[in-house]
Amino acid sequence: MDMLTLDYIKTLLPTRPDESHKMTFGNVLNIAGSINYRGAAYLSSMAALRVGAGYVSLASSSCVCNSITAQTPNIVTIPLVTQTALMSSAITSTAKIISKLDQYEHTDPEAISVDAVKQLWVKLQQTSVVSVGSGLSLMGTDDQPRSPNEPQNDSDPQVQQDNLQLKGNFDFFCHLMKAIETSVTKLILDADGINFYAKMIQSPNDETLPSFKLPTQSVLTPHPKELSRLLAVDVTDIQQQREHYATLAATKFGAVVVLKGHKTVITDGQQTFINSTGNSALAKAGTGDVLTGMIAGFCAQGMAPLEAACLSVYLHGLAGDLVSKQQSCYSLLASELLDYIPKAIQLVLQKTA
């Protein structure tokens, strides 16, 4: 187990040859965002660009894509077909309405349709790395995402609405993962992408759930609760033995695991690193989306997943430290991290001069 140091980090920064073009530095496909979490799509996509990715595409629902296009001209958007679009195209007369209501009764109209996977098929084969999960709201629309196995009040109207979106987006996720299995070598799985992967592996006897293997170069970025779902282990136990359970997950799933939190743990099951940067300013919604985008951006530039994760975690924490020096650890906004990533990189570059 090693502590991440500046001396090690400065050896990881990928080179930037003058004779190059945008695809020299990789192509990120970011499948992210939902009607309530549009900011996550923006933060993760912009973070990939900030660390040097040459091209970033965001695939999401039209409402998310339209919002992002209004915010920045830097991100290419791919509007995905949703249940709303399918319902609109299917219902062409009053006579058809009643028959179609039954078909969509158990699906949220805002959920991404499984047909969206067909839209992405060619893109999946052309991209350097795929990132899935930031703000997808696969677990519902409430502010506290939950596991499908956690107790819930099914008579609560909000829970009923959440369950509709869970089913719709889960269907999309299952089909997407099968497509990724055969077409993608690098995958970053974050947030509710992790939660639904956990649902799949914790239900091995459910014949309605497809089985799939993670790509050979995958990164999982769980916080402790998400890791508890992956391993079916209590969060308290994980927090007491963070290195142990992160290593266990990395070995079990054949992926690099970034266990977020104080002194973030990064491991591939063989090598384990502990981060030395960062502070409580980063304990705010959206900062994890920035980290996911950074990892995707460095992976797109040809870095191995473990090195990309180490570099991203260190720079992410360093950016948080730089913000805190300017305005204390209370006031950081996740969007401000985007402006401090270049400053963190510049600080590392100065140490290599």
Please tell me the predicted confidence (pLDDT) of residue 204. 72
Does the annotation flag 262 for ligand binding? yes
Per residue in 286-332, pLDDT (tens digit) is: 999 999 999 999 999 999 999 999 999 999 999 999 999 999 999 99
SS3 131: strand
Domains of the chain: 2-352 (3.40.1190.20)
Does the annotation flag 286 for ligand binding? no
| Mean pLDDT, range 148-152, rounded to an integer | 47
Does the annotation flag 175 for ligand binding? no
Does the annotation flag 53 for ligand binding? no
Does the annotation flag 186 for ligand binding? no
**pLDDT class of 166 with cuts at 50, 70, 90:** low
What pTM does this model have? Answer: 0.89
Does the annotation flag 289 for ligand binding? yes
Amino acid found at 104 = Y
d(CA 284, CA 281): 7
Amino acid found at 170 = F
Per residue in 225-239, pLDDT (tens digit) is: 999 999 999 999 999
Does the annotation flag 317 for ligand binding? no
φ, ψ of residue 18 to 5 degrees: the values are -65, -40
Does the annotation flag 15 for ligand binding? no
Helix axes 157-183, 192-201, angle to 10 degrees: 80
**pLDDT class of 158 with cuts at 50, 70, 90:** very low
Q: Could you give the count of Cα atoms lying within 13 Å of 219 in the half-sphere of its Cβ?
A: 34
Q: Residue 241 is encoded by which pair of tokens?
A: 């033995």
Per residue in 105-149, pLDDT (tens digit) is: 445 567 899 999 999 999 999 999 999 999 987 644 333 444 444
